[in-house]
Structure 1
Amino acid sequence: MPTTRRTTRTTALTGILAACLLAGAATPLAAAQPRDTAVDEDCTAAGALDLAVVLDTTGSMSSAISAAGTTAVDLATTVSSSGGRVALVDYRDAGDSWTSRIRTDFTADAATYAAAVGEMWAGEGGDIPEATLFALNTALTELSWDDDAARAVIVITDAPFHDPDRADPSLTSSGVAAALAGSGTAVHALLTDRSADTSGQYSALASATGGSVTTLGAAGSTIEELLASLVDDVVSRPYVTFTQPSYAFEAGTAGELPTVSGDECLPLEGASWAWEFLDGDPEVSGVTTETATANYATPGDYAVRVTITTREGKTATATTTVRVTAPVTPTPEPTQAPEPTSEPTETAGPAPEPAQTAGPTPEPTRTASETAAPAATTPTVAPTEASEADAPPTPAPENLASTGTTGVIGGAFAVALLAAGAILVGRRARR
């Protein structure tokens, strides 16, 4: 890229470089603080922050690279002093010695970061647009981001970018913006030339990710003022995030999408929420609060974005995914047949007992001869089960009584006959 665009600012940049070097030398390195995140009364988060500086080092940046580098060091010192970490990625264009490379991964040591900045030099570049999308993808996918920290990228350049990218044509502005927004990474563009954003490329990235665009050539602004504004945007940034990375609901069921940070703002009317349901057409409610509710009619994956705006007009954006599944229809359990039983079926009630007489059955009257008769000598044999089963039924009590009476009469008659016979025998003997 031509470097003549920088000739009118050489004197100013030389002064900026000297001032920033003196400021950097006078700023002591503060020890890293515990990495936590707290939401203050202005809906901004202070504490854990991972900030990646992505710096254009093509030839057109030669007259400004020192000032841009010193600005980055100053930012790194400010971020690390508040407990954050800084990483550095530089980039050029497709076909150059490198397209993009990591100079240092995240560090809380500003001296380490400053040493990495000192290794950079300007060169190559070719045409005007550069490989900014490639560099942003490198930062997003190859740096060691902290999952619990807020994430931001500062792009320092004087040029627009290829869209799609020449080194990797699969990288487009919309795709990279979606990936950055999905990971909660805000893009802040620090442009050293106002012509870099004439097509609105960086404004679109900043809008999609909750970032900002700052131009060093803006009339009436000094480098210190612009730097202070950018530091405020990054370190004292608005903060909003979903309570889960993604959500799952059944179709036809209303599901809540809660966010955090908004309910900690004082006063509450100092912040506002705006919800965007990027695909699908759900029934929604609560779209002016920190928790919206969505009811999707059709299964699928849907993207949802929320933007919070503070009293000062600063914004932060978070994006999540909602997976909607078909309702589950309960399957009735099969009816089980009763198990067969080996036990006899019980009747409705107990079997009736045989009727009993009013009193014990009277024994038959014995005759004198029966009383004197000797006991039978025939041994009694205990009946077996079979003989008992085959034995004739026992006569009823009334039959027994009649049988006994007949025996008595027969015995008396026999005795009378014997007596008559004895008398006849005696008479014959006397004759």
Structure 2
Amino acid sequence: MGMLAELFVILLFVFTAFGQYNYNYYSDHDYDPEPDDDYPPAYHFNPNTQYDIPHVPYATDCARECFCPPAFPLSMLCDNRKLKTIPYIPAHIQQLHLQFNNIEAVTAKAFINSTNLREINLSHNKLMSNMIDDGVFAKLPHLAQLYLHHNNLEEIPSPLPNTIERLFLGFNKISRLQHNVMQGLVNMTMLDLCNNHLDDSAVKGKAFSKLKSLMQLNLCNNKLLSMPPDLPSSLMYLSLENNSISAIPENYFNKLPYIHAIRMSYNSLQEVPLNAFNVANLVELSLGHNKLKQVFQVPKSLEHLYLQDNELEIINVTLLCPAIDPMNSNRLTYLRVEKNKLKAPISTLAFLCFPHIQSIYYGEQKGKDAQIPILPQFPMPHDHDEEEEEERGAWPVIHEEDDEEDEHGGTDHDDFDPYPY
């Protein structure tokens, strides 16, 4: 009996200890089988999207006039909804799309709760400068992209936050640049002012020189008579089409060592300095629809040269290429010279200087012999099957419809698109 009693005591001790262990395990985690009263709304999380603000449910926090896509929880789409005022903007929104509406004013109250905005698109509205509160955009500390093109602005809204990187102001009525309007915009890389009313007095002095990071400047379709002064040395793309510029100062582009593309078609250029474009990184040069009578030296980096619709009677190869260096040959691949006054094709010496040339487009020339196609096309279109060559990519085929342009400022395949960069 004594042994049985001892065995019973031992078993009782083991079961008691095991029971305590199980009880303590659950009590340590404060297990609560009842759900909370406040159940969070449904939220569709996209694990492949990177956001700067923590992921929290925003599905129900959206202006009723707009749409907040579940897959893009930081965007609010209010475009093309006949809005006359800016709707309520939730605090978490970073991308705001308000284009194609009837909005006339921007008040400070509109963005009072939305300091996380990084991109605002107010293009294609009816904004007027006197209806935009002073400094309304400067209060947005993260704003990087601002789209205000196709409005009725007469001046640039100011001040702007120093976080601005891309500013679109094309197709407005801007005729002047206020003093120090570019002050502090050290992060701006792209400025579009095409299709405004800017003249030489508006861009004189150091209007753009303070934009130390500027890579692209669009001033096409304005009223300029001369080249804009003091451009920042960081510039890579310059658009000056459809102005009335008659001359390029000596060594003007030497101050732009990184310039990559220059667009100056539809101006009044009669001649340019022989070394005007002798810069190291120039790849594309468009001087079509001017009044040039003589060519100039082509930099070795240049690949595309547009000289159509000028007054050229001869293309002097020794001016284009003063010296031939087999170890550092010119990279020119494409040349357009239609609608000039050429009576003979370019000298075959050009192919020694430009060994990478793929196409010279002569088209039809101006003058009494314009109706007679006396100049050969290089390469000759009938020498190759167009479909086969286009498929292989061997030669660029230029069709007749490429010549169809408006009288002034028409669409051409070398026209500058102000928005891609």
The interval holding the TM-score normalised by the smaller chain is: under 0.3
Q: Which structure shows the bigger proportion of residues in helix conformation?
A: 1
TM-score w.r.t. the length of structure 1 is: 0.23
TM-score w.r.t. the length of structure 2 is: 0.24
Q: Which structure shows the bigger proportion of residues in strand conformation?
A: 1
